[in-house]
Amino acid sequence: MLEVKYDINHTKDILLMFDQLSNPFSSISSEHLRFKTFDEIGILIRPRLVDIECRLNYRMKAGRVIFEPKVFQMSFVPLRYVLKTMLQDCNLFEVIIEFMNRLESNSNKCVSNNKLGAIYTSLPCLPPEYSSSLENIFLACLFKSVNRQEFGNRAIFSELVSELNFLEVTGIDILYDGEIKFFFSLVLILVDNLGLHSILGFSESFMANFSCRFCKSNKSDCNHQLVQIDENLRNEVNYTTAIAINNLSLTGIKELCIFYEIQSFHVTKNYAVDIMHDILEGVCKPPLISNDSLKHGSIKMSASETLCFIKYLTLIVGELVPLNSEF
């Protein structure tokens, strides 16, 4: 049988507990008590009054003008204490660090995940007024850039390659005054420098020793070369040799071009250049024309501004160049 003992002290404690629970906010029932309590536990940051300006105001008293000083004030809450309390006492510092890390990794993911690669096709045999029209430029492939980086060019472009091969070898029948068979050839892959190097299998770093898709000149030669060195040009023979060497740093070739499988196309004959990066944002450095530019050593210009500038520079300074000058 369970024996129950009554202790007078326990009864008092229990009664006191009930009393406190029945009115838990009695110690902070007034504003004065609340401020006092928050002050004591150190979480009250009181605003302080700051003088803005002191002026003499006048008023009439018994027919006489009396000037009285008037101080204009404002309340100021010191942010140093607010931030310190928030970061330190509310343990928000860790939360912020975690959140920032998450944001950073998510934003990186976001950028790479949303970057798309697109391949469009157009027919160069159309007259310019037709070929430049958007309705005559057709989307062939649309893929996530991150997928190309991860799975490689073969995985992305093999379908396009077999389609182009079909168009070239089998062809399509067109009804035009009877049935006509049309065959198509891939004549040019036109992308910017980095895009071309990526999808054609050349070095993707333009700081590499062999970074040119047209020739085998090394970095030092490329930096000083003013005229084309014919024996350095890439061709079908030396391309095959370079592929056999299979060494990016010795050849500038990362992998066999996937478009190699198209009979009429050879990557060394893909004479597509990138005027924006090569000329307008590349070798066409604008001259120094203002004090500010002199201070910074260069003028920043967009590709279209540079295009405009180099077009008209000859008209601006042409008369100052002697007629017999080689320039």
Nearer to Zn ion among residue 156 and residue 212 (C-beta)? 212
Name residues whose C-beta falls within 8 Å of residue 103's C-beta, 6 or more positions apart in sequence.
Answer: none
Beta partners for 179? 175
Nearer to Zn ion among residue 60 and residue 283 (C-beta)? 283
Question: In a 3-state reduction of DSSP, which class is residue 26?
Answer: helix
Do residues 121 and 138 lie in contact, with contact meaning Cβ atoms separated by under 8 Å? yes
| Cα–Cα dist 227/272, whole Å | 18
Burial class (CB in 10 A: 0-12, 13-18, 19+), 215: buried
Do residues 191 and 199 lie in contact, with contact meaning Cβ atoms separated by under 8 Å? yes
Smallest distance from the beta carbon of 217 to Zn ion, in angstroms? 5
Asked whether position 212 contacts Zn ion by CB under 5 A, the answer is yes
Binding Zn ion by CB under 5 A: which of 38, 184, 214, 309? 214
Applying CB under 5 A, the span of 34-42, 214-222, 248-256, 291-299 interacting with Zn ion comes to: 214-222
| Cα–Cα dist 204/211, whole Å | 8
Question: In a 3-state reduction of DSSP, which class is residue 120?
Answer: strand
Smallest distance from the beta carbon of 212 to Zn ion, in angstroms? 3
For residues 215-244, which are near Zn ion according to CB under 5 A? Answer: 215
Nearer to Zn ion among residue 156 and residue 215 (C-beta)? 215
Asked whether position 143 contacts Zn ion by CB under 5 A, the answer is no
Smallest distance from the beta carbon of 80 to Zn ion, in angstroms? 60
DSSP state, residue 89 = I
Q: Cite the DSSP H helix spans in 23-182.
A: 31-40, 79-84, 92-114, 128-131, 145-169
Smallest distance from the beta carbon of 261 to Zn ion, in angstroms? 25
Applying CB under 5 A, the span of 84-92, 210-218, 272-280, 288-296 interacting with Zn ion comes to: 210-218
Smallest distance from the beta carbon of 213 to Zn ion, in angstroms? 8
- Total residues contacting Zn ion by CB under 5 A comes to 3
Residues, the chain: 327
Smallest distance from the beta carbon of 187 to Zn ion, in angstroms? 21
Nearer to Zn ion among residue 212 and residue 253 (C-beta)? 212
Single-letter residue type at 159: E
Name residues whose C-beta falls within 8 Å of residue 308's C-beta, 6 or more positions apart in sequence.
Answer: none
Residue with tokens 């009930």: 18
User: x/- string (CB under 5 A) for Zn ion, residues 170-209?
Assistant: ----------------------------------------
Smallest distance from the beta carbon of 222 to Zn ion, in angstroms? 6
Nearer to Zn ion among residue 215 and residue 248 (C-beta)? 215
Positions touching Zn ion (CB under 5 A) are 212, 214-215
